[in-house]
Structures are given as C-alpha cells and as structure tokens.
C-alpha cells in the first residue's frame, strides 16, 4: 500500500510540475506578445526629426473628431486593410499649424491615397490649416495614385499635384439618395406607426413612402447645391481655374474623355487639375530632386511621429498656466445611458460635465458637437448638465463639426456662443417617433397574440398587438410637446420667439453659412476659433486646452491602443471579411435608413434625428 501511495504522489508531483511549466510558458508568451505590440505601437513615433525635411501627411480612413472605441478583434475582422480606420482632424490641424513655424520642416508631402473621406466640413477645417501653412512660403506637394472627390479637395491646396498615369480624378458632384421600404414593409405586413412634427422632418419617410416628398426634395436639393457651390468655388480658386470650370468638366466628362482617347490622367493634366503625371518610381526620383535628401533618399517625418515630438516638447516646457479650457467631444448618434466613444451617451457626456464642474482649474468649456441627433431624452440630459456648468459662471462655447442637427442642435442651445463651419449641417429642429408593430406579420405565420389588461392602453407597448387610437394620441401628444419645448429652447438661446423659430424649423436643415444669416449660430469658424472665443468669454489669456473624455478602464485603453496592430496581423493572415469592400459599401448605403431602428432607446420613443444630413 505504501509503494502505491508513493507512486501516486510522484505522479501528481510530476503532473504539477508540467502544469507549472505550461503556466509559465503561457505567461511568457503573453509578455512577449504585449512587448511586440507596444514596440509596434511606438516604432514609428520615436524616429528623430531630420534637420531639414518634409512633413509626410498621409491621413488614413475616415476623418473624425473622436476615435470610435471598437473591440480590437471585432475591428480587425471587419477591416479590409491594416491602415488606421480613422484620423483625428485636430491631429492634422495641429501638425500643420506647428510645422508652419518649424524651421526643420521645409515642405509638406501630402499623400491622400489612404484617405476614405470624412465630410465637407472636416475638409474645410483642414483647408484652413493648409492655407495658414502656405503663408509660411513652404511648398505643399500632393501625390496620389487616384484622387476621389474628397481627396482632391485637399490636394487642390498643394503648390504641385502629381498623378499616376494610370490614375484618375473622380469628380462627379454631390448627391443624396435614400432607399425606401414602404412596399417591402407592406409585403412583410409590418405596420409602422409614425409620429412627427415638421413637414421637412424626413427621417420617417422611407417607412411610409416609396419616394422622396416634395418638401424633402426641395430642402435636400438646396443643401447639396450650396455645398457643391462651396466645393467648386474653392477648387477653382485654389487651382486658378475660371469660374464654372469644374461644373463644365463634370457635365461634359463623357465627351472630354472621349476626345482624350479615354486617358483620364492626360485629361486631368490638360484641364489644369494636376501639374505632373508620373509613375511611382518617377515621382520618387522627382521628390529626391526637390526635397532635402540624405543617404540617397529624401528626408521626411510621418505625421504620427511629428505629433509625438510636439507632445514631448510640450511636456518638457515649463507650464506656468493654471487656467484650463476643457474640450469635450460629442461625436456620433445621441443614445441614452453610458455609451462607448464614437456615439454620444447621454450619461457619458453628463458625467464628463459633472467632473468638470468640480475642477477649479477649468475656466471655460468648448463642446465639439459632431452629431445628427438621436434620443430626445439623452439630448436633454446633456443640455441639463451643460446648464449646471453655466450656473457656476463657466462659459460654454459650442463648436459645430460636420453636423450639429436636431438633437445635436438641442444640446447647442445651452451655450454662451455657437461657432460653426460654413459647411456644417445644422438646424433640423423637428421631432418624430416611430414604433413598428408585427401583429399582421405574426398572424401570417400562424402566430396569434391574446390576453387581458386592466385598461385600454395596457398593451400599448406590445409589438405583437395593434396600436390603439388612444396610444397613438398619447405618443403624438408627446412628440408635439417636445417640439414646443424645442422651439422655446431655441427661442430663448437666440433671443427670438417660438413663432419666429417655427418659420425656420419644421425639420429644415441649413448650412452653417445660412444658419448664421438666420441667427441660429453666432460665428463662422473652426475648433481653434471656438477655443479662443471660450477663453475670451472667461477673461483668460494664458491657458492650456485639456481634452476631456469618458474614463476608460486600463484594459479598454490598452485595447484601443493595440487594435491597429492586431488588425494588421489578422489582415496579413488573410482573415479579412469575406464580403468585398465595394459590396460592403453598397450594403451599408442601402440599409442606412434602417440604422435608426437600431437606436430606438429613448424611454418615451421620441427622437431628434436628422436623416437629411448627407455623408
């Protein structure tokens, strides 16, 4: 018996050692993994700046005011390449503004190949920074294999544009198209109960019609015509083209291209859209001739590395300022509760303002709004949090990004000053509610609902029951009440009356330039202009800007930092989405009107959302 026990003990000791070795190996593997990730994150950022060289500006993905928090594995599986999916507008602006006075920077080399877009207002903000940089006399060189419409807008600021001979410039004009589902919903026997105030509030039209209403068509046409006029006038001015040249080229592209034997790059050169046509190798040879060189290649520093040097220089500088202008970003659809960055959580933003309220160093706040709206309840939670700040005599300035419409404008009413870009989409002062019920769909499948209730509205929130007339009246009354509140909020903030605001409301959207004329905003300008206005209102001249954001756990912060590296690894392994990228874009476009059904979280079912806001 003793020999048997000895054997068992020896066996378990041996097993224990094996398990311990495996545990240490796993721990070591994780350590190596994180070291590799961290080295990968900072490898590009620690390179030195040359004594003389170009700032390599290559924005990638979508231009945003705030990066979206996405689980790294989910992001990696959804991306089609390893480039960053988003680029912060303020990073591009900061790099250009700093490089303007940096003697080490001789040129800006603008590479738009990786830019996916981001909205005309964000392009306008970067445009301002590029034009400020050009005042230094330093050249901007733009290179591209192809130029999309948005890519070309930035490239047009360059002193010289180089296009690949196999490339093209895709100028097509602006359009705004929506998919409509009435026939499909009828076939599926889904009943959409619609409640709205404002004849221009078209967010619900896809569920009740098969085409655009006359009001929506007129409003949307005026909007995109205004934005296209801005685009063409800016490009023509920057490229020294006659007025109307872009419209003439786009409308006659078929004949012009036929005359050029289908050679798009040759046509672009002939029309003055580019200055040079060259292959990649020819472009590199040319850049070596005009840019500072060393070791047989031209000297440059990527934007990410340059920004890292800027941050280090600010850390090393003696900071004698005690005053702070807090910058809060509300970017995305407004939703109830606590939400990840990339959306606007009512509680998330309110909590940030509560923390600011307890910070004695904060003398002013800039709220950057880049939102088409969303939940009416969440919008008012944010507005109330801003009101609490202002009661402490802390001025709040709203800076409008691409959109500050509907719920985005609701929260802007609680501010001391409103600054918008000329191409910002704002207004959309209107309200709607939408509740689908599926009783007919279920009956067609042989599924029936029955039961009892104590009142005639006890089943008003049952989606498998028909909506009673009483329930419809209740919801419509709520929608009308919120619209009345909206008019009063705007009237009080703009020194007007509800009746006068109603004339320019009813869900109508406006550009920032038109909103200024209508008295809905106070000033045209970018984020920097808004920060200066906030400092002026606070009576401070020596201050620093502190970007405030939702508190993340250590794990969440680590995830946000390493997701790009994980994405690159999975992409390299060929584990991308099985659906072609071009088809993914078409699917997203067709299903866009259905997105709102995924955000129906308002406790009262009432929404302040702008569906007229074009991408």
Catalytic annotation, residues:
201, 406
Of 409, 611, 414, 430, residue with least CA distance to 504: 430
Give the sign of the dihedral formed by CA 402, CA 215, CA 334, CA 363: positive
User: Which positions ≥6 away from 263 have C-beta within 8 Å?
Assistant: none
Neighbour count for residue 30 (Cβ, 10 Å): 10
The answer to whether the CB of 487 falls within 8 A of the CB of 198 is: no
- For strand 297-298 and strand 293-294, is the pairing parallel, antiparallel, or unpaired? antiparallel
Question: Is residue 291 classed as helix, strand or coil in its secondary structure?
Answer: coil
Distances (CA, A) of 65 to 123, 153, 227, 303, 433: 12, 19, 20, 17, 29
Structure tokens at 545: 């800007």
Tokens of 476: 């419509």
Edge-to-edge order in the sheet of strand 334-335: 191-197, 431-437, 607-609, 373-375, 334-335, 344-345
- Note whether 545 and 533 are within 8 A (CB): no
Q: DSSP 3-state assignment of 571?
A: helix
| For the chain, the helix, strand and coil percentages under 3-state DSSP, each to the nearest 5 | 50, 20, 35
DSSP 192-211: EEEEEE-TT-GGGHHHH-SS
């Amino acid at each position: 018996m003793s020999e048997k026990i000895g054997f068992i003990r020896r066996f378990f000791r041996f097993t224990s050692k094996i398990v311990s070795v495996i545990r240490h190996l796993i721990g070591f593997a994780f350590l190596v993994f994180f070291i590799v990730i961290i080295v990968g994150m900072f490898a590009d950022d620690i390179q030195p700046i040359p004594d003389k060289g170009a700032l390599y500006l290559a924005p990638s993905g979508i231009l945003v005011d705030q990066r979206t928090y996405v689980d790294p594995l989910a992001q990696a599986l959804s991306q089609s390449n390893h480039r960053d999916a988003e680029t912060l507008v303020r990073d591009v602006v900061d790099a250009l503004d700093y490089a303007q006075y940096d003697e080490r920077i001789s040129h800006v080399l603008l590479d738009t190949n990786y830019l996916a877009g981001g909205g005309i207002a964000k392009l306008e903000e970067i445009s301002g920074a590029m034009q400020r940089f050009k005042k230094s006399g330093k050249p901007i060189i733009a290179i591209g294999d192809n130029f999309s419409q948005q890519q070309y807008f930035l490239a047009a600021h360059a002193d010289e544009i180089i296009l690949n001979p196999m490339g093209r410039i895709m100028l097509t004009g602006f359009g705004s198209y929506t998919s409509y589902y009435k026939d499909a919903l009828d076939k599926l026997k889904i009943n959409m109960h619609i409640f709205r105030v404002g004849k221009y509030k078209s967010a619900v039209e896809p569920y009740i019609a098969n085409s655009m209403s006359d009001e929506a068509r007129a409003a949307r046409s005026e909007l995109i015509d205004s934005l296209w006029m801005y685009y063409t006038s800016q490009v023509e001015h920057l490229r020294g083209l006659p007025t109307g040249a872009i419209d003439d080229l786009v409308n006659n592209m078929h004949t012009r291209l036929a005359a050029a034997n289908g050679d798009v790059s040759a046509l672009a050169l002939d029309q003055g859209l580019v200055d040079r046509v060259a292959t990649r190798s020819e472009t590199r040879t040319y850049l070596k001739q005009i840019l500072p060189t060393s070791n047989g290649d031209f000297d440059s520093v990527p934007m990410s590395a340059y920004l890292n040097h800027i941050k280090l220089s600010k850390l090393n500088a003696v900071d004698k300022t005690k005053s702070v202008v807090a910058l809060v970003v509300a970017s995305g659809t407004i939703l109830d509760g606590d939400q990840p960055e990339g959306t606007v959580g009512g509680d998330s933003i309110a909590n940030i303002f509560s923390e600011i309220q307890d910070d004695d160093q904060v003398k002013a706040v800039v709220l950057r709004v880049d939102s088409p709206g969303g939940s009416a309840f969440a919008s008012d939670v944010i507005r109330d949090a801003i009101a609490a700040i202002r009661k402490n005599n802390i001025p709040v300035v709203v800076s409008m990004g691409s959109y500050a419409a509907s719920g985005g404008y609701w929260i802007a009413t609680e501010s001391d000053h409103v600054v918008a870009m000329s191409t910002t989409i704002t207004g959309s002062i209107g309200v709607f509610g939408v509740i689908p019920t599926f009783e007919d769909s279920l009956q067609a499948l042989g599924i029936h609902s029955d039961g009892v209730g104590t009142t005639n509205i006890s089943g008003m929130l049952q989606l498998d029951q028909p909506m009673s007339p009483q329930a419809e009246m209740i919801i419509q009354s709520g929608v009308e009440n919120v619209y009345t509140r909206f008019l009063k909020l705007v009237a009080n903030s703009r020194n007007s009356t509800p009746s006068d605001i109603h004339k320019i409301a009813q869900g109508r959207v406006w550009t920032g330039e038109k909103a200024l004329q209508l008295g809905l905003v106070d000033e045209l300008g970018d984020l920097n202009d808004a920060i200066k206005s906030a400092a002026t209102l606070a009576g401070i001249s020596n201050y620093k800007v502190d970007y405030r954001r939702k508190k993340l756990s250590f794990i969440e912060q680590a995830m946000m930092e390493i997701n790009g590296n994980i994405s690159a690894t999975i992409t390299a392994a060929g584990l991308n989405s099985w659906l072609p990228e071009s088809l993914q874009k078409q699917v997203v476009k067709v299903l866009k009107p259905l997105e709102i059904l995924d955000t129906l979280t308002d406790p009262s079912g009432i929404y302040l959302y702008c569906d007229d806001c074009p991408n």
